[in-house]
Amino acid sequence: MGKMFSVPRGTIDILPEQTYLWKKLEVTAARIIERYGYREIRTPLFEETELFAKCIGQTSDVVNKQMLNLAAQKQGCERTLKLSGLSLRPESTASIVRSYIKNNLDKKERLSKLYYIGPMFRGERPQRGRLRQFHQIGVEAIGPDSSVPYLDAEVIALAVHILEACGIRDFSLMINSLGSAEDKKRFSGILRRKIQPFLKDLCQDCQSRFERNVFRVLDCKNTRCRTVVRQITMNEDCLSDASRRYYADVCRALEDIGIPFKQDPFLVRGLDYYTHTVFEITSSGLGSQDALGAGGRYNHLVEQLGGPRIGAVGFALGIERMLLATGGQEDTPSRRTGAHIVVMDEQWFKDGFALLNRLRRDGIQTDMSFRTGSMKSLMRSADKNRARDVIILGEEELKKGTFSVKDMGTGVQSEMESYEKMKRHLERANHAENAHVR
Ligand code: HAM
């Protein structure tokens, strides 16, 4: 017997019963995002590894431990693929900033509002809500006109709006400000001073994080490190006056539009590029992987990648976690849709196939059983297909040029004397159905 292949660890097959839910969520999110003026951008699934290292940070877990690098294929290939130095994207912010600069978007508009939906890749230890290939819905607002507190508030309000529109209610929004690059330096100095007395209590990783990037200690999931972090209090204000004012304006804008949030002075995020506002949205029902989404402002990234000195702000929501939070309660739509042709004898397949093609070209969702059998078993197939109408093609119908149409909901069968009449009947049913869905 041949080898049975499994899905790679940390990845999933999304079967038709679930793609319905995925598409519904993606369409809902995209519709709302577009209402806020964002336009879709699609960038490659892989980029230069160095791009991610530069943006996300050499000391981050994402770059240090989770990057999925593409290996060079040398022997045995007709054409040598030059893949070394490339990695699957662990997130999209870096790629979008790269694309923004490369395509001179700053010369075309004062504010580029971009969104994306797609797979990301991180070599993490898989568990519930944590995959190696996962999917994000994200937005990035980049440009000379992006450095205003209202835009931070808009981006946060958008994330909340999407979650609510997808039926997710039980979540909390935490926000913090890291301040400017100078404020961040001050923050890191204060943290170092506070953590220093507990250094020996930290895990091995955090002892080196303490030297290289002390913010990472705050994110560590190790219980010993969490105990240390819980002991320290942050009563010093690391923010400059300007940064404090900016942060206060973001909070006020959120309050003004009734978005509830809590401030968390220890929220720092695991990616290096953030400055000023950072936020995270968590759901208590998700277990240890409780972040539905996160984001913040990154005012130096565009310049750091060789672009102009302009600010940016954005977020990404994890689709798998959003679906976990909705509880997947909804199933495949059980309502009946479209028409289904059944043919009583193989010799009439030709006529059935032509009718199938004509109806589809005329905009009617139609399918056909390419088999013969008893009327009962053919009807059973159409029923399994959740067909709304069954078109029966038998000797009599073909001789007379009529069509027998059975409504699978009511069980009523009617004879239609022409193709046009049947088409109108199916169109009416289609219309009624769509009106019901809207
Ligand atoms: P992030 O916090 O790394 O931020 O990821 C955002 C969301 O993606 C998480 O809150 C989570 O829902 C989901 N996610 C992350 N890793 C996994 C995983 N291994 N399995 C399943 N879901 C996962 C970013 O990616 C930033 N680029 C967000 C951003 C955009 N900041 C500014 N603009």
pLDDT one-digit tens code per residue, 167-211: 998 999 999 999 999 999 998 898 899 999 999 999 988 988 888
Q: What's the pLDDT band for 238 if we cut at 50, 70, 90?
A: confident
* Percentage of the chain modeled with pLDDT above 90: 72
pLDDT tens by residue, 113-136: 999 999 999 999 999 999 999 999
Residue nearest to atom 18 of ligand 1 (CA): 130
Rg (CA), the chain: 28
Find out whether 167 and 139 touch, Cβ atoms under 8 Å.
no
Quote the distance between the C-alpha of residue 164 and its chain's center: 15
Q: Ligand 1: distance of its center to the CA of 293 in Å? A: 6
pLDDT at 436: 43
Nearest residue (CA) to ligand 1, atom 10: 293
> Which DSSP helix (H) or strand (E) runs through 223?
helix 223-231
Give the distance (Å) from ligand 1 centre to CA of residue 319.
10
Chain mean pLDDT for the chain: 91
pLDDT band, residue 222 (cuts 50/70/90): confident
* Interval 401-427 mean pLDDT: 94
Residues in the ligand 1 pocket, defined by CB under 6 Å: 91, 93, 122, 124, 129-131, 134, 136, 138, 140, 271, 291-296, 314-316, 318, 320-321
Question: Residue 184 corresponds to which tokens in the numbers above?
Answer: 């961040």
Look-up of token digits 């980049």: 142
Q: Which is higher by pLDDT, 313 or 438?
A: 313
Q: Which two tokens stand for residue 157?
A: 């309000």
Q: What is the pLDDT of residue 25?
A: 97
Question: In this predicted structure, what is the pLDDT of residue 429?
Answer: 75
User: Could you tell me the two tokens for 220?
Assistant: 């560590």
Which residue has the least CA distance to atom 20 on ligand 1?
A: 130
Q: Which pair of tokens denotes residue 331? A: 């199933």
Q: How far is the CA of 359 from the centre of ligand 1 (A)?
A: 44
Residues in the chain: 438
Q: Name the residue at shortest CA distance from atom 12 of ligand 1.
A: 318
Q: Quick one: which atom of ligand 1 is closest to the CA of 130?
A: 20
The pair of structure tokens assigned to 313 is 């702000």
Mean pLDDT of 75-100: 83
The whole-angstrom separation of Cα 91 and Cα 252 is: 30
- 262 burial class (0-12, 13-18, 19+ CB within 10 angstroms)? exposed
Per-residue pLDDT at 414 exceeds 80: yes
Report the DSSP pairing between strands 172-177 and 262-263: parallel
- Taking the centre of ligand 1 as the mean of its atom positions, its distance from the CA of residue 284, in whole angstroms, is 17
Helix or strand holding residue 263 (H, E): strand 262-263
Q: pTM (2 decimals)? A: 0.90
Helix (H, G, I), strand (E, B) or coil at 165: helix
